[in-house]
Structures are given as C-alpha cells and as structure tokens.
Amino acid sequence: MHSIDLAVTPLRELNQSLHGSSEAAEWEIVNPKGSHAVAVGVDDALDIHVRGNVGYYCGGMNKQGSITIHGSAGPGVGENMMSGRIVVKGDASQYAGATGCGGLLVIEGNASSRCGISMKGIDIVVGGNIGHMSAFMAQAGNLVVLGDAGDALGDSIYEAQLFVRGSVKSLGADCVRKDLRPEHIELLTGLLEQAGMTGVRPDEFSRYGSARQLYNFDVDNFDAY
Amino acid sequence: MEPELGSLLSDMLITMTDRGPDSAGIAVYGSSDPDRSKIVVQSFTPDADFGALEEALGGDCVLNVKDSHAVIELPESELEQTRGLIETDFSSIRIISAGSVIEIYKEVGLPKDVVKRFDIASMHGTHGIGHTRMATESAVTTLGAHPFSTALDQCLVHNGSLSNHNKLRRELVREGMTFETENDSEVAAAYLTSRMAHGMNLAEALESGLQALDGFYTFVVGTRSGFGVLRDPIACKPAVLAETDRYVAFGSEYRALAVLPGIDGAKVWEPEPATVYFWER
C-alpha cells in the first residue's frame, strides 16, 4: 500500500507516480482538500482510495483503475473514463461521467446537473437524485438513478438508456418513456449488484430513451437544412 | 469567528487565485456605531486627493487612508450631503461603497497582494464577500474589479458573462444612471440598484433579473444582515455552500471552503438554478 499526502506531495508527482506504477496496486491519497485532477489518466488496474473531498475532474480518463472517493467530488468526476470503476461515497457536482466511454461510475449520494452528458458507453449508477439536463445528447451506456431526475432529462438523446426510480421533473426533446422489458430487468439487476445498491428492486424503475425523431433524417425537415 | 473574518476571507480568496488572478476585491461588514456611517472612496492619486478631501469634509468626519482607498466615518445625517460633495467637487475620487457597516476594497493584482495592501486579514466583521477576477468582457482595471456597490450596505459579485449588457446599459443610462466601466457585472449591479429605486426589495430585484439578464451568472449579493445567491437557469457557473452551526459559507469550489474551521462536519451542497437564496444573521 502506497500512501500519498497531498498536503505535502505536489499533485503532479502523485499523478506521475500513478502512471508509472504497476507494481504497487494499492494507493491511499489523503488531504485532497478539493484538489483538481486527482488520479486522472490512470492506466493500470490500481486500487485507489481518496480520503476526503476532491475538486474538478477526479479520475478523468480512467482506464482499468478502481478509484473510491471517500467524500464528495467536484465537477467532471470520471470525465471521459474508458474502463474500470469509480465510486463516490458522497455527492458529485456537475457533469459527472461526461463523455464517458466505458466502465462503471457509482455516486452513492446525489449528482448535480448534466450528469452523464454526452455519455458514450459508460454505466452510471446514482444512489440519490440527479440535476437538470442530465444525459444531454447521451449516445450509449446506461444511467441508473435511484432517486429523482431534474428538468430536461435526456434532451437530444441518441441511444443511451436511462432508468429512473423516482420522479422525472421533465423530459428533454426527443426523450420518451419506454416499456421496462425482461432484458432491462436483467440489465438493471446486474448494474445494481455491481454498484452495491441493495434493497432496491429493478421493477421499481421506469425506462427512458430516444424517440429517434430528432437525429434521423426526416424529409419533412428538408427545408431546415 | 468575527475577529477572524478578514483572515478567513483572505485565505479563501487566496486559495481561489488560479480561478482569476487579474484583480481582487473584498467587502467586509464590520461593526456599526449608531448614527454613524462609512463611505469608502478610491483615487489613482491618493496623496493629492485624500488630503484635499479631508480638508473639505465637515468637522465630524474622520478620514483614514488605506493605500489607494480611504474610509470616511461620518454622522449618518451627513452621508448624502458628503456623497454629493465628493461627486461634484472631486471628479478624480470615486465612491466604492457607502452604508453603516460595509467597506469595499478592490484593486488589480493577485489576491494575496490586494488583501495585503488593505490589511484585510486584520479586519473584524459579521460577514464579508471576496472576489477574484478573470476579465472576459472588459478591461482589467481597479473599477472593473468586484464587488460592485448596489445600494447602501449592499454589494454584488459575479462569476459569468452577460450577453445583453450593452443594451441594458443604454436603457439604464436613459434612466439617468452613470457607469464607470464597460464591465458587464457593473450593469448587473446597476440593474439591481435601478429596480430597488423603483420600489422592489433585493429579492424581488434578483427575481426580475432572471428575466432581464441574459447570459451566465452566479451572483452573490451582500446585505447589511447577510448574503444572497442566485444562479442563472442553466447554472454552468459553479457554486458550493457549506453550513454549520457557526457559519454559512459560499465558494466557487470546495477548495475555498476547505480552509474554514469545522468544514469536515459541515453540510456541503450546491444551490439550485434560477432560485434566490438568502441567509440572515
């Protein structure tokens, strides 16, 4: 186990150590105090525990790494992650998991606005609520929300799937409610289990996705081009 | 915590330096003497101006020079008359703030240098606001720094950019308002002043700002008894609050709050878009 104290070690040194290390698999990072870009660009199967609150872009571009934030995360946690797993024990700020291509992002508390914006294959599980404009232009992957969703959920959505257990304040353009079929129950069961969310039944969720009216060419809209 | 206010605000502001290192400003709500008021003025030639101003002031007024600013303490009954005197007879002196408790100081430069010039760390107070600026819409000048005074004992700081500020400024000039800068945030401050002059209270003025102000903003407004927050409906500009039994604190990000005592036990949360919040002491 490597332990790094951000009160004494510069951030760049931490991230360079993480990038160069495949022999030390376990890392503990203390005193982040809202620092930006903690553990970005991890490219190994490291097990990283951050003790405290982090600022912008924690775990961004993560590949293979397992990053647990024992606190809350600022904007852009797990932005553009490719694979691996990030768990936020507290809340997450704006655009959590933005443009994420793969892996699993778990936010045990609430996520703020634009959660999963432009997601491209990432799975995101939120234990609490999500803010407005979440899953805006979401392309692929799954967003699972145990609480409520804010305004304009899934605006201009492509092929991502959204599952919300609570209420949805409003749906964005071209986002519609869809049937929850057996294959979705199966998918949800797996995601909830991976995220460690217990006491929740998959059939309590509603599914939302694209009506596919906005991104397919329609000859009636020809004059608009 | 009141004796530590200036020191805590200074630490918070210096922590935020990398968000905007052009200019910095601070509003401190200090102690109040009954029937006494304060005017803070600024000059680019303080040595010449403040001496002349001191001579022109009435016998009950006390002027203390602080670098490029000066604090005038005076009887409340002489506040309007003195403001008029400065505006008409001292064209090179600008009024930065006025009220019974507020003092605003602002300058170009790094937060650490600005707070040092005005010795902010030694100031006591009930509450305060700090702002560090990265100019996007207008020049880096002393008068373009925040906070902006909006009324007696009130001020505004802004993170964002307004897209309709030229149109709004023209409308406000037609109403008779004057502007020191091309700054968009000064227009937001003047808009609030104008609405309040038309009978609204600050909360109503902020509500109507949701319709009138086009662009990005997280505003923090200081009042005699507390502060308020308003984010635009899109709410891209960050805002974090921390609440404990002892204090309420606002920051653009958690790093600014991390320097506060007892922050680990605080309730930390983000304000909702298009919602006016106020905290009163």
Torsion of CA A110, A111, A113, A119, to 10 degrees: -150
Q: How confident is the model at residue A215 (pLDDT cuts 50, 70, 90)?
A: confident
* Concatenated DSSP letters of B187-208: HHHHHHHHHHHTT--HHHHHHH
- By C-alpha distance, the chain B residue nearest A133 is B234
Q: Which domain holds residue B180?
A: 2-25+131-280
Q: 3-class DSSP state for residue B122?
A: helix
Q: Note whether A53 contacts B: Cβ–Cβ < 8 A.
A: yes
Q: Over 90: is that where the pLDDT of A168 sits?
A: yes
Rounded Cα gap, residues B131 and B26, in angstroms: 6
Q: Over 80: is that where the pLDDT of A225 sits?
A: no
Q: Give how far Cα A186 sits from Cα of A139, A162, A205, Å.
A: 21, 14, 12
- By C-alpha distance, the chain B residue nearest A114 is B236
Asked if B255 and A72 come within 8 Å (Cβ–Cβ), the reply is no
Q: Does domain A2-212 have CATH number 2.160.20.60?
A: yes
Interface test with B, best of A93, A110, A130, A136 (most B CBs within 10 A): A93
Map out the domains of chain A as residue ranges: 2-212
Instruction: State residue B269 phi and psi, 5-degree precision.
Output: -155, 165
- What are B183-241's pLDDT values in tens digits? 999 999 999 999 999 999 999 999 999 999 999 999 999 999 999 999 999 999 999 99
CATH at B159 = 3.60.20.10
Q: Note whether A155 contacts B: Cβ–Cβ < 8 A.
A: no
Q: Over 90: is that where the pLDDT of A20 sits?
A: no
Tell me how many domains chain B contains.
1
Give the pLDDT mean for A179-207. Answer: 98
Q: Note whether A71 contacts B: Cβ–Cβ < 8 A.
A: no
Q: How far is B268 from chain A (nearest CA, A)?
A: 9
Asked if B258 and A34 come within 8 Å (Cβ–Cβ), the reply is yes
Q: Which two tokens stand for residue B231?
A: 């984010």
Q: Which two tokens stand for residue A218?
A: 């329609």
Q: Is B9 among the domain residues? A: yes
Q: How confident is the model at residue A208 (pLDDT cuts 50, 70, 90)?
A: very high
- What are B57-113's pLDDT values in tens digits? 988 999 999 999 999 999 999 999 999 999 999 999 999 999 999 999 999 999 999
Triad A188, A190, A196: Cα angle to 5°? 100
Q: Over 90: is that where the pLDDT of B137 sits?
A: no
Q: Note whether B261 contacts A: Cβ–Cβ < 8 A.
A: no
* Concatenated DSSP letters of B215-231: EEEEEEEEETTEEEEEE
Q: Is B48 among the domain residues? A: no
Q: Is B12 among the domain residues? A: yes
Q: Over 80: is that where the pLDDT of B31 sits?
A: yes
Give the pLDDT mean for B39-65. Answer: 95
Rounded Cα gap, residues B96 and B64, in angstroms: 15
Q: 3-class DSSP state for residue B264?
A: helix
Range A58-63, long-range pairs (CB < 8 A, 24+ positions): A58/A86, A59/A86, A62/A86, A62/A103
Q: What is the pLDDT of residue A22?
A: 63
Q: Is B154 among the domain residues? A: yes
Contacts of B231 in chain A (CB under 8 A): none
- By C-alpha distance, the chain A residue nearest B239 is A93
Q: Is B81 among the domain residues? A: no
